[in-house]
Amino acid sequence: MMRNILKIAKGVFLTLALLLTMAAGTASAVTYDLCAGQGSLTMPDGQVVPVWGFGLDTGGICTPTIPGPVLRVDPADPELIVNLRNTLSEPISLQILGQQLAVNNGPVWDNGTVGSRTDQTARVRSFSHEAAAGGGTATYTWGTVINPFKPGTWQIMSGTDPAKQVQMGLSAPVIKDAALGVAYADNPNIEGDQSVPYNQELILVFQEIDPVIHAAISGTVGTYGTGGTVTSSVNRDPAYFLINGMAYPNTGLNPVNGLTPVSAGERVLIRFINAGGETHVPQILNNHMMVVAEDGHPLRYAQERYGVELIPAKTVDAVLNPVQPGRVSVLDGRLNLTNAGVYPGGMLAYLNVGSAPGSDTVTVNNVVYNPAAQTLEIQATSSTQPAVELTAQNYGLLGWKSWLNLYRTTFNGVTNRPASIFVTSSGGGSATYNLPATDTVTIQSISYSTASGGTLILTATSSNQPNVQLTAAGYGALGWKSWLNLYRNTFTGIGVKPSSVTVVSSGGGSETKTAP
C-alpha cells in the first residue's frame, strides 16, 4: 500500500513538473519534412518492383525508402509536426493510429469534397486532410502541450485508400521514448516496476509485396481500379516477403544489426511493425522475449512469448535478453520464407549476438577461399586458447594448431565465396571477418637461364601472405620465404624461355607478367 502511494505521488510530481516545464516555454515540437514519391526495389531474384514510399524532403527530387525514414520524437517534445510534399499522381494523407491529430481539416469524401457530407452516397476517402497530387503540400500536427504525443512505437502511414497506398509502401516508423534509454515509464497505479529500460534497439518492419498489383498501380503493367486489369487488392497474392525492405539472402539481413553485435546479457528492445496487409508471426528461434507493449500501449505485466502475432498496422515491443553469443535466427512463424516461391528467402534474418563483457575474446586473423578447390581456410585466435572451442558459423569447428598458436581449419566443398565469416567461442567471445574481394598478387621478378637445360626463377608477393598458396601457371607452387617476405621458387629443366608467366593465388588473385 505504502509503495503504491509513493508511486502515485511520484507520478503526480513528474506530471506537474512536466506541465510547469512546458508552461515555462522550454517545450518544443520536432518537425520533419517528408516527401512521397515513386521508386523501385530489386528483389534477390533480380525482379524490379515499383513502390511508393516516404523520404526526407530536401526540396528536390523525392527519393523514397522502404520502409520510410524513422521519425524520432524526443521525450521532452509534446508535438510532432510533419510537412508533407506529394509528388505522386494521386492525393495522399497521413495518419498515426493511436495518436490524435491536433488540427484535422478532414474528412475527405470520394467525390473530393471536404468537411460535412452533403452527398449522402459519398464514402470516406480519408479521415484527415490531403496533400494534392503532383506536388501538393499539407501539414500535420500530433500532440499539444496539454495532450502531448504519447511515448511508444508507432507507424505513420497514408490515410487515403490505405489498402492501396500503404501496401505500395507509404509508411514509416515513429518512435518516442518516455526517457533516455527507457521506452515506457513506470505505472504508478500498479504494484511493481513497469518501466522498460533497454541497452540496444532493433526495429523490424514486416511487409509483403504482390508485384502484379504494384505494377498495375504504378502503371508499369496494366491499370488498377474499376475496369482495370487489377480491380482491387482483395485477391492479393504476395510473392515477396520483406524485413526492413529486404528479403533473404540480402546482406542487410545477415546480420540485421550490422557488424556491431548485441552483447549477451544486455536488454535489446525489439520494435516489431507490420507495414503490410498480411498477418505475420515474428519469432526469435531458441529464445523467448518479454512482450512489454502493443500498439504503443504498455502492458500491465510483461508476457513471456516465443513469437508475437503481428496483424496489419500493428506494433509490438518486446525485450530480448540473449544469453549465448552467436547468430540468432529471426523469421516469420507463418513460414513466408520464399522469394517468388523459391526457398530459402523472404522473412528470414539473423541477429549478431556478441560476447558479454569480460568473457573470451576472439580474433579472426585470416580467411582464404579457393574457388578452384572449393575450400575455405579460416584462422583465428582466442584470448583463453587452447582451453576453449572455436566454431565457424555454418561451417564447423576450428582445430587448435599449437605450433602456430592459433586455430586453423580448411573446409572442403564450399561452393560459394562467403561475404563474411562469423566465429564464436565456447568461452563467450565472437568475431566477424569480412572477406576481401580477392587476394592481390604482384610478380616482383622473372629471370631465365639457359644453364642446366633452362631454369626459371620467379619471385612474387601476396596481400594475404603467408596464408595463401601461390602457383605459377604451367610450372608449380611458389614456396614462402619468410626471411625474404615473399614467395620464390626455381624451376629447372625449362627448355624454352616463356614469353610470360601467370601467378594464381588460392585467395583468388592473379597477375600475368611478360618475361624479359
Looking at residue 318, its amino acid is A
Give me the residues of the chain with pLDDT under 70, please. 1-27, 259-260, 355-358
Name the β-bridge partners of 109. Answer: 124
Name the β-bridge partners of 417. Answer: none
Secondary-structure percent of the chain, ordered helix, strand, coil, rounded to 5: 10, 45, 50
pLDDT at 496 (0 to 100): 87
Cis peptide bond upstream of 67, omega within 30? yes
In the β-sheet with 476-477, what is the strand arrangement from edge to edge? 476-477, 470-472, 500-505, 510-514
- CA 345/CA 141 separation, integer angstroms: 39
pLDDT at 232 (0 to 100): 85
pLDDT at 70 (0 to 100): 96
| pTM confidence score | 0.71
- CA 109/CA 122 separation, integer angstroms: 6
Q: Backbone phi, then psi, for 276, in 5-degree steps?
A: -110, -165
Contact 308, 315 (CB under 8 A): no
Burial of 386 (0-12, 13-18, 19+ CB in 10 A): middle
Contact 431, 362 (CB under 8 A): yes
Strands (E), 426-478: 430-434, 441-449, 455-462, 470-472, 476-477
- CA 496/CA 122 separation, integer angstroms: 92
Eight-class DSSP state of 115: S
CB within 8 Å of 415: residues ≥ 6 apart: 374
Torsion of CA 262, 279, 86, 211, to 10 degrees: 100
Nearest CA to 432 out of 403, 385, 394, 401 is that of: 394
| Angle at CA of residue 500, ends 372 and 443, nearest 5° | 70
pLDDT at 192 (0 to 100): 78
pLDDT at 224 (0 to 100): 85
Q: Which three cell numbers stand for residue 302?
A: 510483461
pLDDT at 383 (0 to 100): 86
CB within 8 Å of 472: residues ≥ 6 apart: 458, 478, 489, 491, 501, 502, 503
CA 258 to chain centre: 7
Using the Cα atoms of residue 228, residue 231, residue 233 and residue 236 in order, give the sign of their dihedral: negative
pLDDT digits (tens, 9 = 90+) for 464-507: 877 788 999 889 999 998 888 899 999 998 888 899 999 998 87
DSSP one-letter string for 225-279: STTSSB--STT----EEEETTB-BT-GGGTTTTTTSPEETTS-EEEEEEE-SSS-
pLDDT at 21 (0 to 100): 42
Distances (CA, A) of 98 to 148, 152, 313: 13, 10, 11
pLDDT at 281 (0 to 100): 97
Q: Which three cell numbers stand for residue 404?
A: 602456430
CA atoms within 13 A on the CB side of 137: 7
CA 73 to chain centre: 21
Eight-class DSSP state of 348: E
pLDDT at 356 (0 to 100): 67
